[in-house]
Chains A and B, each alone.
Chain A
Amino acid sequence: MVSTHSRRDFLKISSISLAGAYLAACSVGGGDQGAAEQALRAAFAQPINDLDPHGPSSVDESTLLAGRLIYDTLIRRDGDKLVPHVATSWEQPDPNTWVFALRDDVTFHDGSKLTARDVKASLERVKDAGTAQSALWTSVSTVDAPDDTTLRVTTSEPLGTMPVNLTLMFILPAAKMNDEGFFRKPIGSGPFRVEAFTPSDELRLAAVDYWNGTPKLNRVTLPFIPETSSQITALRTGDLNVLWPIPPDQLRELEGLDEIRLETVPSYAYYFTWFNCGREPFTDPRVRRAMWRAVDVAGTVRNLFGDGAELMTAPIPSTVFGHAPQQPYEHDPDAAKRDLAAAGLGDGFRTSLMWFSDTGPLADALAQAMISDWAKVGVTVEPQNLEKAEWLRRLNAKEFDMDLQINTVTTGDADFTLGRLYDSQADRMGYRNPRLDGILRRAHQDSDRRTRGRLYGQACKIIWDDAVGIFPAALISTYGLRSTVEGFEPVPSNQPDLRGVTLAT
């Protein structure tokens, strides 16, 4: 055996390496274990990559989530209403002009005052950023800040979605936003300031004296945990206080536990299966409708997702403004076969369905279920499970027969999805309908809520009846909360407001 001498060495070495590991682990995670503090650890299922709210991640839910905590917007969403925030009121003297009156008591985390100049600089920055959110602002032509509390925006064509789009437009300090490295520790005017940020790993926030209700929590840490089972374990052991959204197939791991409460809310995210309407045989609406009827949509959604999703009744989720329920397509394989025969496809045909696994929960299972239903009516569908970048390339190039994906109505307004995807000029999936184009354009420009609602109702009907795609399931976000968490309100956007949250001791 080992001699006494080397055994002592062994112990010495092991204690040194343990101490080293202790120090190292502290530096890795921060090791902040405040005792009496109200410190929340909350994990969202996607990583926060970038805190630049106008950059390439500007419409990522995770960046928006962080943005809501760090920055302010002119207008805020409260349930399905749009409410004043930094803007106290707004008016539209003519269809192409918007004038906003701003609060004068809002300060950034560095103590400087938020003025209309900051809003102007932010809006111009996001408009010119060349990123996904810039598309919302293309019709903005000038932004003026005549004084500290007045903002005037003019547009080249009426922009009825101005108020709802502004709920995504985060205000940055004009004097600092272009500094090198600003977004590693950005300054905003929101309820929390950034303490530390490691991209796609962890964001640590501390509460500030906020003009619109100081948070009850002192600190919030938002770690990213890539592996689902590790997320669930961390919530079960109390390592996390909140986790969302929980994938439908993981719900039973958390059900029936005393220390965990599950709260659900229908989200803005939904699945669709587009047909490439510019490609045979999907140029024929009869074929598209037959394909829909061939699939047991209701049964599949119920079996796969359970309480994790709801059956869709329109091409957008029921939580979105502009949703109008349509007549469901009944599952009827025989009728589907008859319709295919009427379209000259009595012997069936071969086609393909593309998707990428991470598009949403149970994507692979959903694709397989649809493919096996199609096989029953004689349609052989080749499954094409692709890598994300390749999927996106083919989607953009319209190199697909059918495409299954998750889509998120980020603003909660039909314009974001219907207006941008189904317009002939956008030409996303080869569907062209001048009548639909007209409706969508009017809805985009009109600022009257009732008119817009009615127009989107018509748009929903056209897209649904023409079966541009199959619209199976809208996801229900499940938030897992430790029972000590109080005052947490689940929201469809996946971007909860944490100001009212407290932790019972």
Chain B
Amino acid sequence: MIIYVARRLGQSVFLLFGAITIVFLALRVIPGDPASLILGSQATEAEREALRADLGLADPLLVQYVRHLGEVVRLDFGESWRLGGDAFAGVLERLPATLTLAGYALALTLLVGFPLGVYAARHTGRFADRLVNYLALTGQALPSFWVGIMLVLVFARTLDILPATADGTPLALVLPAFTLALPFLGWLARLVRNGTLEELGKDYVRTARSKGLSEQVVFNVHVLRNTLTPVVTVLGLVLGNFIADAVIIEQVFAWPGIGSLMIESIVNRDYAVAEAAILLIAVFYIGLNLLVDVLYFWLDPRITLETV
């Protein structure tokens, strides 16, 4: 077990290294650089060259890369030219807002998606099942930015019962969290429904029933536990997706998270902030995957190191 976790940790470090390298290269390959954005269109080429040298952008790419790796290890990405001050601190400052939104959306996904799936499974083929299935598909199919704007139009502009943007009130969380959760909520409901149905057809369920256990016990104790394994896998990925999807949602709802920060920093070639933000998202994604793998053992004792 410990060996397995250690091996996965090693893989994660390798993945992170890859992510850092790709981000570093991608940002420098795309045209335009911080020097011209800082100086605007009025500066001369000589002034831009001088600033490039100042910022260390005139050095060979390999030198910049090695220096960047050093920065990453020390978690010091340098100054953000656009926001002033330490870039990593600037990103960390925005992190709680994104995590709050993702956490709340996850809760919403679980609390609505899971019961819906179970309900549909227990009423297979009936109207409720078909309705859940239909709604789930619709939720998955609608693009988030459109849903966000529509929700603002209906609940903020027309009905005026919820704020359109992050104005500091707890109600402001409702629309963005729902928009973020919607596609995954449907996904989860369908996954739980299908997983539950599959489990219900298995031998152990027949055995449990023939032992004379009540349907409640069969379902709540045996079946649900076994449907949890795929659900946990999905949730790990979903949480990672929440953080990535938040980029769009944060823009629509003026939510002060790292998503909107990242977009702006890329557009403005604020390398330090972009690198810090993307690295943080990568760490989350990789960390969650690791967590999911470890959770398997706990949830399903049948899984052994040989099977993974």
Chain A interface (Cβ within 8 Å of chain B)? 1-3, 6, 10, 13-14, 17, 20-22, 24-33, 41, 47, 49-52, 55-57, 59, 130-132, 135, 181, 183-184, 198-202, 223-227, 229-230, 232-234, 236-237, 239, 387-390, 392-393, 395-396, 420-421, 426, 428
Given A22-B170, A56-B81, A184-B85, the answer on whether A130 and B47 have CB atoms closer than 8 Å is: yes
**B8 contacts the other chain (CB 8 A):** no
CA distance A32 to B169 in the complex (A): 9
Q: A24-B100, A392-B36 are in contact. List 19 more A-B contacts (CB 8 A).
A: A24-B104, A29-B168, A29-B169, A30-B168, A31-B169, A33-B168, A49-B83, A57-B82, A181-B85, A198-B94, A201-B94, A226-B252, A227-B254, A229-B153, A233-B156, A389-B33, A392-B32, A396-B43, A396-B48
**B300 contacts the other chain (CB 8 A):** no
Query: Residues of B contacting A233 with CB < 8 Å?
Result: 152-153, 156-157, 164-165
Q: Is the CB of A25 within 8 A of B33?
A: no
Query: Residues of B contacting A1 with CB < 8 Å?
Result: 119, 122
Q: Is the CB of A51 within 8 A of B84?
A: yes
**Pair count A-B, CB < 8 A:** 200
CA distance A201 to B54 in the complex (A): 28
Q: Is the CB of A230 within 8 A of B164?
A: yes
**B268 contacts the other chain (CB 8 A):** yes
**B40 contacts the other chain (CB 8 A):** yes
Given A10-B111, A55-B84, the answer on whether A223 and B254 have CB atoms closer than 8 Å is: yes
Q: Is the CB of A199 within 8 A of B84?
A: yes
Nearest neighbor of A202 in chain B, beta-carbon distance: B256
Query: Residues of A contacting B255 with CB < 8 Å?
Result: 28
Pick the residue among B37, B84, B111, B260 that contacts A389 (CB under 8 A): B37
B-side interface residues, number (CB < 8 Å): 71
Given A227-B251, A389-B32, the answer on whether A21 and B104 have CB atoms closer than 8 Å is: yes
Query: Residues of B contacting A55 with CB < 8 Å?
Result: 84
Given A28-B168, A233-B157, the answer on whether A388 and B256 have CB atoms closer than 8 Å is: no
**B90 contacts the other chain (CB 8 A):** yes
Given A226-B254, A233-B152, the answer on whether A131 and B168 have CB atoms closer than 8 Å is: no
Q: Is the CB of A239 within 8 A of B167?
A: yes
Interface SS of chain B: helix
Query: Residues of A contacting B119 with CB < 8 Å?
Result: 1
**B71 contacts the other chain (CB 8 A):** no
Query: Residues of A contacting B59 with CB < 8 Å?
Result: none
Given A50-B82, A50-B84, A223-B254, the answer on whether A26 and B168 have CB atoms closer than 8 Å is: yes
Query: Residues of B contacting A226 with CB < 8 Å?
Result: 251-252, 254, 260
Q: Is the CB of A223 within 8 A of B157?
A: no
Q: Is the CB of B163 within 8 A of A237?
A: yes
Q: Is the CB of A389 within 8 A of B269?
A: yes
Q: Is the CB of A389 within 8 A of B36?
A: yes
Query: Residues of A contacting B304 with CB < 8 Å?
Result: none
- Top 6 A-B pairs ranked by shortest CB distance? A389-B32, A29-B168, A199-B83, A24-B100, A25-B170, A233-B164
Q: Is the CB of A234 within 8 A of B165?
A: yes
